[in-house]
Amino acid sequence: MAVTLDTLRKMKQAGERIAALTAYDFSFARLLDAAAVDLVLVGDSLGNVIQGHATTVPVTVDEMVYHTRCVARGLQRPLLVADLPFLSYQESPQQALHSAGRLMKEGFAHMVKLEGGAAMAPAVRFLVERGVPVCGHLGLTPQFVHQLGGYKVQGRGEAAAQQLHTDALTLQAAGAALLVLEAIPRALATQVTQALDIPTIGIGAGAACDGQVLVLQDALGMNPTPARFVRNFLLGHDDLGAAIAAYVQAVREGSFPGPEHGYD
Ligand code: KIV
């Protein structure tokens, strides 16, 4: 049966972990579908892993639409989420609606993801009230890389942790139905996950999140300098499908992420 937002909400309530991965093309999408991944994200990380850019900043809406459309053709079961790329939604709620509309109508995404905290709440509300499901993204938000001064763990220290907690509650109140938490201390991710009704999907945020996501190329050992929250699931497996199935199983049973993949 197709995964919906209702499925993910019920999984959170039942304590069943959500397995998510990124994909950018039809062939990998089909493998993820076969491995029963719950959520597939067409991340703007395609700027890094497909296009070879140093950051996600140059990615355009046209490129996101193209890759989302390719992925959509390979999926039957998972929820399909697509990233709104940098400066395709920050200008105004109307701009966000226009860009999101393209990802849904031309790319066949079920939901869009955007980065940022309380400042994004008006756009989130505007989208949700018009039928566009929204996933938030807090912590290490790669579109902010130049402001953050690099890819660094976020939410450390009391003020930053409090700010992230407040942002999470504000996004939920604005109607966000999912929240990605990236590269934050596991204790903070645990608190936020417990405080929210909506599911959290962690990447470098510890094992207490309701689900986990990795960039597919990272999970398949293709990154020569992986972050510490990455595990190479191809090791010990002799085909891609088995590696992806191993990731799904490890997330579901709670053996990934392990203590070595998190931050304090
Ligand atoms: O762009 C992306 O792939 C993402 C994930 C890392 C969460 O935002």
The reply to whether ligand 1 has any atom less than 6 angstroms from the CB of 188 is no
| CA neighbor of 190 nearest in space, from 113, 116, 262, 114 | 262
The reply to whether ligand 1 has any atom less than 6 angstroms from the CB of 104 is no
Whole-number pLDDT of residue 55:
98
Where does the pLDDT of residue 175 fall: very low under 50, low under 70, confident under 90, or very high at 90 and above? very high
What is the residue with the minimal CA distance to atom 6 of ligand 1? 215
Residue type (1 letter), 251: V
- Write down the domain spans for the chain: 5-261
Task: Give the number of C-alpha atoms closer than 13 A to the C-alpha of residue 14, restricted to the C-beta side.
Answer: 10
Whole-number pLDDT of residue 257:
97
Fold of 5-261: TIM Barrel (3.20.20)
- Among residues 91, 115, 182, 260, the one annotated as catalytic is 182
CA geometry: angle at 87 spanning 82 and 93, to 5°? Answer: 80
The reply to whether ligand 1 has any atom less than 6 angstroms from the CB of 211 is no
Region 62-77: mean pLDDT is 98
Region 135-142: mean pLDDT is 98
User: Taking the C-alpha atoms of 71, 218, 3 and 61 in order, what is their torsion angle to the nearest 10 degrees?
Assistant: -40
Computed over every residue of the chain, the mean pLDDT equals 98
Residue type (1 letter), 134: V
Where does the pLDDT of residue 232 fall: very low under 50, low under 70, confident under 90, or very high at 90 and above? very high
Task: Give the number of C-alpha atoms closer than 13 A to the C-alpha of residue 114, restricted to the C-beta side.
Answer: 34
Where does the pLDDT of residue 252 fall: very low under 50, low under 70, confident under 90, or very high at 90 and above? very high
Region 32-40: mean pLDDT is 98
Distance (Å) of CA 50 to CA 188, 197, 232: 32, 34, 18
Ligand 1 center to 104 CA (angstroms): 18
Ligand 1 center to 214 CA (angstroms): 7
**Is the model's pTM score more than 0.95?**
yes
Q: What percent of the chain has pLDDT over 90?
A: 100
Region 9-23: mean pLDDT is 98
Query: Is 63 a residue of the active site?
Result: no
Where does the pLDDT of residue 205 fall: very low under 50, low under 70, confident under 90, or very high at 90 and above? very high
Ligand 1 center to 3 CA (angstroms): 20
| Cis? peptide before 93, omega within 30° of 0 | no
Where does the pLDDT of residue 57 fall: very low under 50, low under 70, confident under 90, or very high at 90 and above? very high
Where does the pLDDT of residue 198 fall: very low under 50, low under 70, confident under 90, or very high at 90 and above? very high
Region 176-203: mean pLDDT is 98
